[in-house]
Homo-oligomer: A and B are copies of this chain.
């Protein structure tokens, strides 16, 4: 599937939902950044999910996104229940503008929705010679250490760091051992999950990749207590608190679910999903050229670290996604039949004419 056609189609769907041209363009670009970088679970496969949330009245396509609290280096933003795909870039831009003057900028967001992959927002800082940070809470699928209850989302953290001649360092990770998308891939292939990825409703480790449908939970990074799952639990908690307690969004088990058919948790202590963004100007710490030269040295030294197996060199965070992007820009984005069908249904429903490429 060619990227340009898929982008045009996605933008058309957002326009049919009632988004402005500009918002639809941005939302399509952010959503498809996932497909381009190989994170198929978070891209156009979710387009139908966003439409369902809109139909359920949980997404406001004409949001009045605004700053409700600020200081020289901070802001809190009310996303007005808009698409996270639009709210997040607004918030990250705000962080960058703050950083231009104050050296750093930090923005907490309440009342938002899912924002796609975390990395795309963090990467906005790179062109400004800034380090970018991005995180979000999400609906509860993860059990804390010692618990059998789902209390946290997969709560990703992304950090993008500029370099000189080398490609930038871009880490983008769920704070769980694996994200839910990896389980979905195993389910489709009818394969088992390794022990350490999920537990059942009683809190016992299991190989069942479909256990979340039966009250199971994802495990925090670290997998079990002996391998320090309490650290993954702490990281996911920090993301939840920065994104939602600091901003006034719904946190922990009250975070709103992505599937529109799942009822909203009752009596949430805040509004919608929460995000947290940061931008740090490199030259607020040292001259940017010095930093970039040293980042190049850092990257080259780590790439040459002695490998366990000569056939697999050490990777720098961001390598796999960048390679996927280079390949997919040329060769197109592979879509599984189920995703193609969901897009065809959207084309029919919204009467989008130029969708022959989906057949």
Interface contact A298-B252, CB-CB below 8 Å:
yes
Q: Which residues in B have their C-beta under 8 angstroms from that of A74?
A: 103-104, 280-281, 284-285
| A295/B177 contact (C-beta < 8 A), A223-B227, A227-B223 known | no
The answer, yes or no, to whether A237 is at the interface (CB within 8 Å) is yes
| A117 at the B interface (CB under 8 A) | no
In the bound complex, residues from chain B placing their C-beta under 8 Å from that of A237 are: 169, 171, 302, 317
Query: Within 8 Å of chain B (Cβ to Cβ): is A269?
Result: yes
- Note all chain B residues with C-beta closer than 8 A to A196: 226-227
Chain A window 279-316, contacts with chain B (Cβ cutoff 8 Å), 1 for yes, 0 for no: 01110111000110011011001100111110011110
Report the bound CA distance from A312 to B146 in whole Å.
Answer: 7
Complex CA–CA separation, A205 to B252 (angstroms): 36
Q: Which residue of chain B is the closest to A140 with respect to CB atoms? A: B305
A131-172 contact mask (Cβ, 8 Å, vs B): 1 or 0: 100000000000111111101000000010100000001010
Q: How far is the CA of A131 from the CA of B173 in the complex (A)?
A: 23
Contact of A285 among B72, B131, B226, B246 (CB under 8 A): B246
Question: Is A231 engaged at the interface, CB distance under 8 Å to the other chain?
Answer: yes
Q: In the complex the two chains form, what is the Cα distance from A230 to B179 in whole Å?
A: 14
Q: Which 3 A-B pairs have the closest CB atoms?
A: A71-B103, A203-B308, A71-B284
Given contacts A71-B103, A72-B73, A72-B102, 15 further A-B contacts (CB under 8 A): A69-B286, A72-B72, A108-B286, A145-B314, A148-B308, A171-B235, A177-B222, A177-B228, A202-B308, A223-B227, A227-B227, A246-B282, A246-B286, A247-B286, A252-B298
Query: Please, could you name 13 A-B residue pairs with CB atoms under 8 Å apart, sorted by A?
Result: A74-B280, A74-B284, A104-B106, A144-B302, A146-B313, A146-B314, A148-B306, A169-B237, A202-B308, A223-B223, A230-B315, A230-B317, A233-B317
Residues of A within 8 A of B (CB): 69-74, 76, 101-104, 106, 108, 131, 143-149, 151, 159, 161, 169, 171, 173, 177-178, 194, 196-197, 202-204, 221-223, 226-228, 230-235, 237-238, 240-242, 245-248, 251-253, 269-270, 280-282, 284-286, 290-291, 294-295, 297-298, 301-302, 305-309, 312-315, 317
